[in-house]
Amino acid sequence: MKKRVLFTAACLILLLALPAFGQVRSTLRQGETVKAMFIAMDSMDLHWLKLTRGAQQQAAKLKIDFTNNAPAGKVDAAQQIAIMEDAITAKYDVILLAPLNANALVPVVNKAKAAGIKVILVDSPIGTGGNFDAFIGTDNAAAARTAADTLAKAIGGRGKVAIVNAQAGAGTTMIRENAFKEQIASKYPNITIVGTQYSDGDKAKALNIATDFMRANPDLAAIYACNEGSTVGVGNAVKQAGKAGKVVVVGWDKSPESQALILDGTVLAVMVQNPAAMGSMGIQAGVDLIQGKTVRKEADSGCTVGTKANIARL
């Protein structure tokens, strides 16, 4: 009987010493605050700034520490890997990551997971073999098919189309390119894709690429651009060439520049994502996981076709 009483008392002491289920990491680490970092593809695009803002606001709401970092440009996956390594060394609890190169980031993502860090992918997927906790972003394939249908309708289902993409290795933009091509090939036999070039999301590069496409194809009917920088560059090229309304432009993402190009008739439509929701949902998912809650492996943050009729409201 005495042994049983002692055993019960020991169990009660142990239970009282344990944190309550559902409390965030701050209690699990005796007063330390949960640390979260968002690592973007770059620090320039308005898309990433909106995503960062959404994450910051949710982190403030949940009273956790938040910081963000990104490579100087969208062409250096090695720099993004180095930022990930630093975050692992600094023992962050949650990392939100938009992989610059789907395959190159796999080893460091797996290293973060092995270190016990909650890895939430936002906007862009990781390559095969990547171990992560959740993915939050646009259904890029579905939106790209919608972009293809929008463009095809505008040119009457026939003509030459060029594609200006961002990064050749980025999972998101490659999905947007490939799903667009597949939709055109399967539904619009009278549309010919004359080529695809990569601008690294740089507006000046996209302008030059689009200009070259129009010079090489005087009868070009349309250009599809796969991100905000490419869309703005393509729009400016079409405008400078005096072909607004003659060469249809369908692209991605709302920004002051892309909105202006839509309102003046240069760009027909953009696929408007919800990056702020990606950021806030990503932070919430990370904290939920630390609390021991179950989160969806994949969550769609939504996308809307932005045109002259609705772009100001989006």
When pLDDT is averaged across residues 147-160 and rounded to a whole number, the result is: 98
Of 26 and 207, the structure prediction assigns the larger pLDDT to 207
- Residue 306 domain-assigned (yes or no): no
When pLDDT is averaged across residues 210-236 and rounded to a whole number, the result is: 98
228 and 152 fall within a common domain: yes
- Residue 16 domain-assigned (yes or no): no
60 and 170 fall within a common domain: no
Query: What domain range includes position 32?
Result: 23-136+275-299
- Residue 311 domain-assigned (yes or no): no
145 and 224 fall within a common domain: yes
Q: pLDDT (tens digit, 9 = 90+) per residue, 160-183?
A: 999 999 988 788 899 999 999 999
Distance (Å, rounded) from C-alpha 69 to C-alpha 257?
Answer: 24
When pLDDT is averaged across residues 250-263 and rounded to a whole number, the result is: 97
Question: For the whole model, what pTM was predicted?
Answer: 0.80
Check whether 12 has a pLDDT greater than 80: no
117 and 97 fall within a common domain: yes
The confidence score (pLDDT) of residue 53 equals 97
Exposed/middle/buried for 146, CB within 10 Å: 0-12, 13-18, 19+?
Answer: buried
CATH number of domain containing 65? 3.40.50.2300
193 and 291 fall within a common domain: no
Check whether 6 has a pLDDT greater than 50: no
253 and 242 fall within a common domain: yes
- Residue 310 domain-assigned (yes or no): no
Look at the chain and report how many structural domains it folds into: 2
214 and 251 fall within a common domain: yes
Check whether 244 has a pLDDT greater than 90: yes
281 and 252 fall within a common domain: no
The confidence score (pLDDT) of residue 16 equals 36
